[in-house]
């Protein structure tokens, strides 16, 4: 009777299967039902057996009461069960309905060395050791629910604001960021030499869909993409992954950084989904953080130039590991300091040195220092969350920049975009995992993605 086959045959002629979340709607009270799920708590007592069964349809578990005689050595915390019985109103207000079991079937027993223990609240670090099992914990299943909601919220924000979704390619021949952090792709057995390789040119996993979005922005004024992005960054840091998800938007007929940051901020704020999921949220983060976050998002975000940022860093009494001279890149320690300095709210830093930014960033020719119209959004707890720029739409300037980088031939198609009806445009890319880290206060990026990939680690 305990074999899966028997259970399935039995189920076919038996009562309607109820999802645990539906049980709480009360509609089936008094009826014979069956549920399938996993045992989340298990209390055998003298007369009765009490279980809580969760089937993943929500965070709620349904209490099951059975006569003690139904206890079975295979039954216990973590095992998969089917329970058939009568759904009853419960006298306890916290637990409005319960299932009075007539039969309990163990579908899959749970070995005692299951790493998660009953009633224990395990840390995210602990559960991360079991990537293949961690979705069975309240903390990680909550994260997955929030992540799924946030994904839907991203799409609904862009859809409601007139953006066209473009599926940009995963395999590409360009290095958009020019940082050389590429994973090269070839079928096994081929050499990486150009001749004889699959595509006849070297190809890579995408580091950004921006250039493909720019192609589309020649016909659609607002486009976005949201998908996996790859960087061969040899980092084990708490905010770097080799594969992460990026939300990227590109807007045509945009002439100023202000226009860009307006959309940027509203996209960031609109994606706040934690209010829909307070129950999930508490399994991950202290509730006071949610209030702080709500408060933070109501404020307008300060905008400072890179030059002002350098002044702030130089004038501070803080000792930094990395240099703070004009022309040096801002490091995490600088970004975090700037966020604190601005009142612990998100801050836009604009007009970076031209040499620090990729070839596509628009040259601020009228500035006394040689800067580009590039912006980063820095946020509490994380530092850089998002990067973007106005794009160089002027053919002559773009051609000479590409020439300086030795890229004129590689990007002849990109120059064409400026030859045929070029318009001022700009966009940004937002790291989705860093966004989740920020709104949930999660310290390590590996805890906000189902299957983290980073240097020396590609488990599963």
Whole-number minimum distance, CB 375 to ligand 4AD, in Å?
Answer: 9
Task: Convert 372-395 to b/e letters by CB count within 10 Å (16 or more is b).
Answer: bbbbbbbbbbbbbbbbbbbbbbee
Residue 399 to residue 397: CA distance in whole angstroms: 5
Closest CA relative to residue 147, chosen from 15, 337, 295, 276? 276
> Which of 85, 353, 387, 452: binder of ligand 4AD (CB under 6 A)?
387
> Which of 226, 433, 449, 452: binder of ligand 4AD (CB under 6 A)?
433
DSSP for residue 362? P
Regarding 411 and contact with ligand 4AD (CB under 6 A), the answer is no
Regarding 210 and contact with ligand 4AD (CB under 6 A), the answer is yes
> Which of 104, 124, 150, 241: binder of ligand 4AD (CB under 6 A)?
241
> Which of 62, 83, 176, 310: binder of ligand 4AD (CB under 6 A)?
176
Whole-number minimum distance, CB 426 to ligand 4AD, in Å?
Answer: 8
Nearer to ligand 4AD, 198 or 253 (CB): 253
Nearer to ligand 4AD, 282 or 407 (CB): 407
Question: Hunting for tokens 């064409």 — which residue is that?
Answer: 416
Q: Pairing between strand 303-305 and 347-353?
A: parallel
Regarding 268 and contact with ligand 4AD (CB under 6 A), the answer is no
Regarding 231 and contact with ligand 4AD (CB under 6 A), the answer is yes
Which 127-166 positions form the footprint of ligand 4AD (CB under 6 A)?
none
Counting residues that bind ligand 4AD (by CB under 6 A) gives 22
Regarding 222 and contact with ligand 4AD (CB under 6 A), the answer is no
Regarding 431 and contact with ligand 4AD (CB under 6 A), the answer is yes
Nearer to ligand 4AD, 81 or 242 (CB): 242
Nearer to ligand 4AD, 254 or 386 (CB): 386
Regarding 428 and contact with ligand 4AD (CB under 6 A), the answer is yes
Q: Write out the E strands in 90-221.
A: 97-108, 164-165, 171-172, 204-205
Question: Hunting for tokens 């770097």 — which residue is that?
Answer: 240
Nearer to ligand 4AD, 62 or 154 (CB): 154
HSE (side-chain half, CA atoms, 13 Å) at 61: 20
Regarding 254 and contact with ligand 4AD (CB under 6 A), the answer is no
Residue 422 to residue 444: CA distance in whole angstroms: 42
> Which of 98, 175, 248, 335: binder of ligand 4AD (CB under 6 A)?
248
Closest CA relative to residue 63, chosen from 98, 39, 29? 98
Question: Hunting for tokens 């995992």 — which residue is that?
Answer: 433
> Which of 386, 393, 422, 452: binder of ligand 4AD (CB under 6 A)?
386
Please say whether the beta carbons of 82 and 34 come within 8 A: yes
Q: Measured at the alpha carbon of residue 25, what is the angle toward residues 19 and 31, in degrees to the nearest 5?
A: 70
Regarding 425 and contact with ligand 4AD (CB under 6 A), the answer is no
Secondary structure percentages of the chain, helix, strand, coil, to 5: 30, 25, 45
Which 292-331 positions form the footprint of ligand 4AD (CB under 6 A)?
none
Backbone angles phi, psi at 341, to 5 degrees: -55, -35
- Any bridge partners for residue 184, and if so which? 204
By the criterion CB under 6 A, which residues form the site for ligand 4AD?
176-177, 208, 210, 231, 233, 240-241, 244, 246, 248, 384-388, 427-429, 431, 433-434
């Amino acid at each position: 009777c305990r074999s899966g086959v028997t259970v399935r045959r039995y189920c076919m002629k038996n009562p309607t299967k109820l999802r645990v979340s539906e049980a709480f709607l009360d509609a089936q009270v008094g009826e014979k039902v069956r549920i399938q799920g996993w045992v989340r708590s298990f209390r055998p007592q003298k007369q009765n057996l009490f279980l809580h069964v969760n089937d993943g349809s929500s965070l709620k578990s349904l209490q099951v009461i059975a006569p003690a005689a139904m206890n079975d050595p295979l039954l216990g915390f973590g095992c998969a069960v089917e329970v058939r019985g009568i759904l009853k109103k419960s006298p306890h207000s916290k637990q409005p309905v319960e299932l009075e079991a007539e039969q309990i079937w163990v579908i899959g027993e749970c070995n005692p060395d299951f790493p998660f223990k009953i009633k224990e609240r395990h840390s995210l670090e602990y559960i991360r050791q079991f990537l293949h099992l961690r979705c069975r914990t309240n903390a990680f299943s909550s994260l997955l629910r929030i992540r799924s909601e946030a994904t839907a919220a991203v799409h609904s924000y862009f859809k409601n604001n007139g953006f066209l979704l473009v599926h940009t390619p995963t395999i590409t021949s360009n290095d958009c960021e020019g940082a050389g952090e590429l994973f090269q792709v070839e079928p096994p057995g081929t050499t990486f030499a150009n001749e004889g390789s699959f595509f006849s040119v070297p190809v890579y996993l995408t580091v950004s869909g921006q250039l493909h979005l720019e192609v589309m922005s020649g016909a659609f004024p607002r486009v976005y993409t949201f998908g996996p992005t790859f960087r061969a960054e040899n980092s084990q840091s708490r905010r770097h992954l080799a594969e992460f998800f990026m939300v990227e938007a590109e807007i045509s007929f945009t002439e100023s950084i202000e226009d860009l940051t307006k959309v940027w901020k509203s996209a960031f704020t609109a994606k706040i989904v934690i209010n829909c999921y307070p129950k999930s949220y508490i399994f991950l983060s202290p509730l006071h953080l949610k209030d702080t976050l709500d408060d933070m998002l109501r404020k307008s975000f300060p905008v400072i130039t890179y030059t002002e940022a350098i002044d702030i860093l130089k004038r501070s009494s803080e000792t930094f590991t990395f240099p703070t001279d004009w022309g040096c890149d801002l490091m995490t320690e600088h970004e975090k300091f700037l966020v604190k300095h601005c009142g612990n709210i998100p801050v836009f830093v604009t007009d970076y040195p031209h040499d620090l930014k990729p070839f596509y960033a628009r040259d601020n020719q009228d500035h006394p220092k040689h800067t580009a119209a590039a912006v980063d959004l820095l946020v509490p707890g994380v530092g850089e969350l998002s990067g973007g720029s106005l794009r160089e739409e002027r053919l002559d300037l773009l051609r000479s920049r590409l020439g300086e980088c030795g890229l004129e031939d590689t990007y002849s198609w990109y120059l064409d975009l400026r030859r045929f009806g070029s318009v001022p445009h700009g966009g940004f890319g937002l790291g989705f995992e860093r966004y989740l880290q920020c709104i949930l206060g999660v310290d390590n990026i590996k805890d906000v993605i189902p299957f983290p990939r980073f240097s020396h680690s590609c488990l599963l």
